[in-house]
Structure 1
Amino acid sequence: MNVQLRRAVASSFLGSVIEYYDFLLYATASAVVFNKVFFSSLDPLVATVASFGTFATGYLARPLGGVLFGHFGDLLGRKRMLMLTMTLMGVSSFLIGVLPTYAQIGGWAPVGLVVLRVVQGISVGGEWGGAVLMSAEHATSRRGLWASFTNAGAPCGMLLSTAAMTATASIVGERAFLDWGWRVPFLLSVALLGVGLFVRMKVEETPAFQAVEQDRRRLPLVEVLRNHPKVLLLGVGVGLAAFVAQSTLTTFVLAYGVQAGHPRQTVLNALTISSACAVVGIIGWSALSDRFGRRPIVLLGAVAMAVFGFALFPMVDARSTPLLVLALVLGQGVIHPMMYGPLAALYTELFSTANRYTGASLGYQLAGLGAGFAPLLFAELRRGTGGTAAVSYSLAAFCLLTVLCVLALKETSGRDLMPGKEAGLAEHGTR
C-alpha cells in the first residue's frame, strides 16, 4: 500500500465520517428532538411525520449535489470538490446548531431548518463520489476493500452522532437537552471540519484523472444520460434497497422503538452497538467482493434483508433489550453491509474516467432517495394501517428490485479504471 493510497483512503474515510456525522446527526435529531422543537404546534404523530419530511429534503438535494460537484469534479479534479463539500457541510451543520426554535421565531424556524438541510444534502451528494474515486482510482488492486472505507464512514458517522447525542443528553438531562443540549453535537462540526480539511490537503489528485487531463468532457452529465442511461438506471435499482434498509434500521426504528415502549437511551445504545458492527461488516463484505465479485455479495444481502424485514419489528415489539440489540446488529451490522459495502467499487466500475464522478455520484444519490423517503413513507403506512406488515412487505419489494437489477448487470470487479484500458466499460455493463 503506497503512501498516496494510504493518504487517499484515510482522507476518504475521515471525510465520510465527518460528512455522515453531520448528515446523520440530523436523522437522530429528527426522530427524537425536532418534532418537539421545530414542530411543537402539531399533533405528536403528525409532528414526527413533518420532522421526517425535513429529513427527506436532504436526500432530495443529494442528486443535485452529485450532478453539480460531479460535473466540476470531472472537469477540474476530485480533490478541489472534496475540499468544498466538506466546508459546506461543516458550516451548514454549525448553523443548524444556532438556529432559533419555533417558539422563538415561529414558522421561520422550520423554513431555516429545511434550507440548511438542503445545503447538507447538496454537500453529501457531492462528497461521496469524489471520496470513493480518490480511493478507487489510487488503488491498483483490492479496489473493493479500499473503496469501502468511504462507505464505512457512514455507520462510523452514525456511531459518533448517536454517541454525541447520547452523551449530551446524559450530561445535561432531559429538559436541558430539549432546551439547548441538542445543539452541542451540531456545534462540534466546526472542530471536525478543521481536522478533515487538514488531512484532505495532503492527498494528491488521482492518476486516472491526471491521465485524461487533455480529454475532459465539457458536459459529463449529457454524456452519461445520452450514452449510458440503462447502466445508470440499473445502478440506481441496485442501490435502492440498501438505502431503504439503512434508514429503516436507523431513523425509522429509532422512532418506532421509542413508541413501542423502549427507553430512548436504550434504542440509542443499540444503534451505537450496531453502527460499530456495521463498520466491520462493510469492510469485510467489500473485501470478499474482491474475491467473489460484487454481484454475489449484493444478491445475498438483498435476499437476506427481504426475509429479515419480517422478523425485525416483532423483535422490536418484544420490548426486550437483548432482542432489540440483536435485531439491529443483525440488520445493520451483518445483512445491510452485504448490500451496501460493495456499492462503492461497483458504482466506480460502471463509468469511464471522463464522466465517472458524475455517473457514480448520480446513480448513488438517486438510489439514496430511498433512505430519505422511506421513514416518511413507512410512518404514513403505519399511521394508515396501524401495523408494520406493510412496512415489511415494502422493504421486501425494494429488495426484489435490487435482485433484478443486479442480475441485469455483468460483474464489474475485474475492470481496469485507467483511461485506455476501460474502453466500452459502461456499454458492456449490462447483460
Structure 2
Amino acid sequence: FSILITFAAWLIRRHLTESPVFTELKETTKDIQEEAAPLVQAVKHGWKRIALVAIMNWGPNTSSYTVQTFFVTFVTTQVVAHGTDDFFPRSTITDIQLIGAIFGIISAFTWGYISDKFGRKPIYLLIAGIGVIMPFVYFNLLNTGIVWMVALAVILGYIFAAYGNVGVQMSYFPELFGTRYRYAGVTVAREISSVIGGGFAPMICSWLLIQFGNWIPLAIYLAFTMVCTVVASWLVPETVDRDLTIVTDAVDGEARTA
C-alpha cells in the first residue's frame, strides 16, 4: 500500500505548479539563487527558529506516535477487557484505531480552519495546553477495559494529539520561516523532532512501563513533552496572513496580506 501511495504522490507532485510566492521570488531575486544551499543557510542563520519549531513539534509528535502505536500494545498486554479474564482483543483496538483516524482527519481540517479565523498561535497553544493534561485522561480511560471508553481515549488522542496540532502546523511552520530557507527550515525542524519524539516514544513508553509497572510515568513523560511545546510556542510570533515574500523569519508586527 505504501508503494501505491508513494507512486500516487509522485504523479500528483509531477503536475503541481510552484506557489505564486516562490515563482515570483525565483524570477525577480537572483541573489537567492546564487546563495549557498538552503539547508546551509537554514542551519547557519535560522538555527534558533529551527530549534523552537522542533520543540513545538516534539510534544505533538511524541503523543501522536504513542496514540497510534503504543496504545495498541498497552491495551493488548496490560488491560483486561471488561467482563472477561482476557486482555483487550487486538482486533477490537485496531478497529477503534481506524475510527480514531477518521475523526483525526476531520479534526485536522477543523483545527486548520479555526486557526485561519482566530490565529495560529492561540489555537496551537490551546491544543498543546490541552495536550498537557490529556495523557492522564487517555490512560484512565484505556485502563477501564470498557470498549466505548477505550474508543473515547483513542478518538480524543487522534483529535488532540495525532492530528490536532498538525492541522495548524501545515500553515504555521512555513509561515514562521522566511523565503530564503523556508522549506529546509521546516523539514529539518520537523524531522529532527520526529526522530527524537515519535521515533523513540513507543520504546520509551515500553521501558517506563517495564520499570514502574503502571501508566502514570508514561503520562508524565507525554505531559512533559507537551509542556515544552507550550513554552516554545509561546516564544514564537503570530503569523496568520503573514506576507510570505518576506525573506527573513517571522517576527511580531510584520506586514500582513489581508
TM superposition score normalised by structure 2: 0.86
How far apart are the structure 2 equivalents of 1:237 and 1:335?
15
- In the alignment, which of 205, 213, 218 is matched to residue 391 of structure 1? 218
- In the alignment, which of 108, 131, 138 is matched to residue 282 of structure 1? 108
Distance 1:338 1:197, change over 3 A: closer
- In the alignment, which of 379, 382, 390 is matched to residue 209 of structure 2? 382
How far apart are the structure 2 equivalents of 1:282 and 1:307?
20
Instruction: Report if aligned partners of 1:258, 1:264 keep a CA contact under 8 Å in 2.
Output: yes
> 1:219 corresponds to which residue?
37
How far apart are the structure 2 equivalents of 1:297 and 1:336?
15
Matches within 5 A, 1:109-120: none
How far apart are the structure 2 equivalents of 1:193 and 1:236?
25
Return the offset for 1:407.
0.9
Query: SS at the partner of 1:244?
Result: helix
- In the alignment, which of 63, 67, 78 is matched to residue 245 of structure 1? 63
How far apart are the structure 1 equivalents of 2:127 and 2:95?
25
Matches within 5 A, 1:161-310: 188-213=1-26, 214=30, 215-216=32-33, 217-259=35-77, 260=79, 261-310=87-136
Instruction: Report if aligned partners of 2:68, 2:162 keep a CA contact under 8 Å in 1.
Output: no
> 1:104 corresponds to which residue?
none
The alignment yields a C-alpha RMSD, in angstroms, of 1.8
| Bigger fraction of residues in helix | 1
> 2:256 corresponds to which residue?
none
**Quick one: which amino acid aligns to residue 234 of structure 2?**
L
Instruction: Report if aligned partners of 1:348, 1:360 keep a CA contact under 8 Å in 2.
Output: yes
Return the offset for 1:225.
2.0
Return the offset for 1:429.
6.4
Matches within 5 A, 1:406-425: 406-418=233-245, 422-425=246-249
Query: SS at the partner of 2:181?
Result: helix
Higher relative contact order (CA 8 A, sep 6+): 2
Distance 1:425 1:325, change over 3 A: same
Return the offset for 1:251.
0.7
Instruction: Report if aligned partners of 1:276, 1:333 keep a CA contact under 8 Å in 2.
Output: no
How far apart are the structure 2 equivalents of 1:379 and 1:226?
37
> Number of matched residues?
239
Distance 1:334 1:241, change over 3 A: closer
Matches within 5 A, 1:34-45: none
> 2:192 corresponds to which residue?
366
**Quick one: which amino acid aligns to residue 233 of structure 1?**
A
How far apart are the structure 2 equivalents of 1:288 and 1:389?
32
Structure 1 residues without counterparts, runs of 5 or longer: 1-187
How far apart are the structure 1 equivalents of 2:91 and 2:43?
46
Identical amino acids, percent of aligned pairs: 25
> 1:87 corresponds to which residue?
none
Question: In the TM superposition, what whole-angstrom CA distance separates every residue of 1:140-161 from its partner, at most 9, and x where no partner exists?
Answer: xxxxxxxxxxxxxxxxxxxxxx
How far apart are the structure 1 equivalents of 2:161 and 2:11?
35
**Quick one: which amino acid aligns to residue 19 of structure 2?**
T
How far apart are the structure 2 equivalents of 1:204 and 1:375?
38
Instruction: Report if aligned partners of 2:177, 2:249 keep a CA contact under 8 Å in 1.
Output: yes
Return the offset for 1:367.
1.8
Structure 2 residues without counterparts, runs of 5 or longer: 80-86, 254-258
Instruction: Report if aligned partners of 1:347, 1:364 keep a CA contact under 8 Å in 2.
Output: no
> 1:77 corresponds to which residue?
none
How far apart are the structure 1 equivalents of 2:158 and 2:54?
21
**Quick one: which amino acid aligns to residue 116 of structure 2?**
D
TM superposition score normalised by structure 1: 0.53
Return the offset for 1:302.
1.4
How far apart are the structure 2 equivalents of 1:230 and 1:193?
33
Return the offset for 1:224.
1.6
Instruction: Report if aligned partners of 1:238, 1:403 keep a CA contact under 8 Å in 2.
Output: yes
How far apart are the structure 2 equivalents of 1:222 and 1:192?
31
How far apart are the structure 1 equivalents of 2:160 and 2:107?
6
How far apart are the structure 1 equivalents of 2:142 and 2:217?
16
How far apart are the structure 1 equivalents of 2:199 and 2:94?
20
Question: In the TM superposition, what whole-angstrom CA distance separates every residue of 1:181-215 from its partner, at most 9, and x where no partner exists?
Answer: xxxxxxx4444444333333221223233233332
Distance 1:250 1:233, change over 3 A: same
